[in-house]
Structure 1
Amino acid sequence: MSENKIFQWTDDLSIGFEEIDLHHKKLLLILNKFKDILMLGEAEYKIQIGKIIKNLSDYTEYHFAEEEKFMKIYDYPGYEAHREIHTSFINKLKTHLPILLSGNLQKGAEFSNFLGDWLLDHIAVADHQWADYIHSKK
């Protein structure tokens, strides 16, 4: 099985909006629950993965909508491009659902690592861009 990473919040990830930082922390908690069920073995993984993925999907969509509200309120010029990144991510998550729900631990671990790496990179780069823009306008 591929390396099972732990995804942790660090202060340098903070974008300076407490509400959004709390969202990011919750997303990392969900991803770490995903990681935890991978350690329980195939039978338990199959039982719990649907709930974890639903929670991740629902919360991600809510979080992205909240970020996009910030961007629209402050007329962030990169709004459409950032929104497309969000849409692409949601689509990728949805296309991987059958693979994740199949119970394949290897594929689950690989996708869990992808999700965490993507989220940390997205926060550190793309989210900081819009947040920095807004902070400069406030």
Structure 2
Amino acid sequence: MNQFVWENHYLLGNEKVDQQHKELFRLANRLLASKDIHALTENIMLLYHHVREHFQAEEVFMKQNGYPEYQHHVQTHNLMLEKLVEFSNDINQQQQLEALDVPGFMHDWIAHIVAEDAAINAYFASQQEQKSGKSLY
């Protein structure tokens, strides 16, 4: 059973970003299903790489399009990446999954999606509506 369930109110309206966010949920559930230290190590690395690639794409978009909250948004990304590095370090020190705060991380991520990522979408949607009525993000 999956602990983290995607809900449609997390949708931002950008297919690529929404798919990346859904993949995060899948990878977090995969991490929770890890049965041994090898699986934990593999799954935390998959999650880290996915998150890093997603953040890079999002940051390029924000920077190229002059998002006014770019610096703050990047700071929140960096904090989440640091948390994943901490998880990896804990796993390397033979910590068990129960010792990792994956639920807390996912709670922070969901809050990030519904507040910060939605703010990007809202900003660019309003910018586009002024120009052509189409959202970029």
TM-score in same-fold range (> 0.5): yes
Q: Distance between the aligned counterparts of 2:54 and 2:28, measured in 1? A: 14
Pick aligned residue for 2:83 from 92, 105, 127: 92
Scaled by the length of structure 1, the TM-score of the pair is 0.84
Distance 1:124 1:28 in 2: 14
Give unmatched runs, 5+ long, in structure 2: 129-137
Distance 1:15 1:105 in 2: 31
Q: Which structure's residues are more often helix, by fraction?
A: 1
Deviation at 1:106, TM superposition (A): 2.1
What TM-score results when the alignment is normalised by the length of structure 2? Answer: 0.85
Comparing both chains, which one has the higher relative contact order based on Cα–Cα distances under 8 Å and sequence gaps of 6 or more?
1
Give CA deviations for 1:62-108 in whole Å, capped at 9, x if unaligned.
Answer: 00011112212321100010001101111122123222341423203
Q: Does 1:126 align with 2:126?
A: no
The CA distance in 1 between the partners of 2:6 and 2:16, in whole Å, is 15
Mapped contact 1:72–1:79 kept (Cα < 8 A):
yes
- Greater than 3 Å deviation, 4+ residue runs: none
How much does 1:134 deviate? Answer: 0.9
- Equivalence for 1:7: 4
Which residues of structure 1 form unaligned runs of 5+? 38-43
Contact 2:48-2:81 at 8 Å conserved across structures: yes
Aligned residues: 127
**1:5, CA displacement in angstroms?**
7.0
Following superposition, the deviation at residue 115 of structure 1 comes to: 2.0
2:96 aligns with one of 101, 104, 118: 104
In the other structure, the counterpart of 1:71 is 62
- Displacement of 1:118: 1.4
| CA drift at 1:7 | 1.1
